[in-house]
Amino acid sequence: MPKAVLTISSKNYSSWCLRGWLMCKLAGLELDEEVVSLADPSARAELLLLSPSFLVPSLTHDGVRIWDTLAIGEYLAETFPKAGLLPTDRAARARCRAICGEMHSGFYNLRSALPMNLKAHHPGFKVWTGAQADIDRVTTIWRECLNVSGGPFLFGGLTMADAMYAPVCSRFATYDVMLDAACSAYKRSIMEWPAMAQWTADARAEVEELEELDVEF
């Protein structure tokens, strides 16, 4: 079987690519990374062939192409059931899917006001009320999950939910978001997850910069 290919864009800015890539690492999938620059028109034309939505990440594995992060997680969980992308307990599995769905379809204010930028650090960043409401909901989810599981990850061991919330941890670090002890410890565990540390190091070495996301706050 040919090696899997994950099409991604910037490691510094693309939070969905980070999620998809972490899910592949969790599944133990050996893959080649195909990096496309979304600013480049010829790369966009090529991407259209790989990802009908124009969006990345897009995974090609065993003749199957999947161009949505949540679908990538579900595909990997189904294809590699022993990898633990979903909890084994039925109720925990349902909660895991629910919080992955919440991340996938919500938190618009948080995502737009605090864009992922692994190279940046904005101490004293002023969070506006709309984004704060999203932060409060995220930290409520984390506290509830960590209380039930005992940590260190949302469902004890790593699952696809941790991949979904990993870019939020990096945003909290970038924008100096104040957290309680439990959420801080969770953020630290995610940032120290070796796959996350590897992605972060790659992102910091990346040359491409998007001016609109590198404004001074």
Given the complex with ligand GSH, which of 17 and 118 has the nearer CB atom?
Answer: 17
CB of residue 65 to ligand GSH, shortest distance in Å: 13
Which residue spans within the chain are E strands per DSSP? 4-8, 31-35, 58-61, 64-66
CB of residue 18 to ligand GSH, shortest distance in Å: 8
What gap in Å lies between CA 216 and CA 203, rounded to an integer?
19
Count of alpha carbons within 13 angstroms of residue 205, beta-carbon side: 6
Given the complex with ligand GSH, which of 19 and 189 has the nearer CB atom?
Answer: 19
Given the complex with ligand GSH, which of 104 and 188 has the nearer CB atom?
Answer: 104
Given the complex with ligand GSH, which of 9 and 189 has the nearer CB atom?
Answer: 9
CB of residue 48 to ligand GSH, shortest distance in Å: 11
CB of residue 36 to ligand GSH, shortest distance in Å: 9
CB of residue 44 to ligand GSH, shortest distance in Å: 7
According to DSSP, the residues that pair with 44 across neighbouring strands are none
Sheet containing 64-66, strands listed edge to edge, beginning at the edge strand earlier in sequence: 31-35, 4-8, 58-61, 64-66
Given the complex with ligand GSH, which of 101 and 157 has the nearer CB atom?
Answer: 101
| Residues near 139 by beta carbon (within 8 Å), at least 6 away in sequence | 179, 180, 183
CB of residue 46 to ligand GSH, shortest distance in Å: 13
Looking up tokens 């932060």 gives: 135
| Positions in the binding site for ligand GSH (CB under 6 A) | 9, 14-17, 38, 54-56, 68-70, 104
Amino acid code (one letter) for 162: D
CB-nearest residue to ligand GSH: 69
Given the complex with ligand GSH, which of 16 and 165 has the nearer CB atom?
Answer: 16
What gap in Å lies between CA 114 and CA 139, rounded to an integer?
15
Long-range contacts of 147-152 (CB under 8 A, 24+ apart): 148/92, 149/92, 151/182, 151/185, 151/186, 151/189, 152/185, 152/186, 152/189
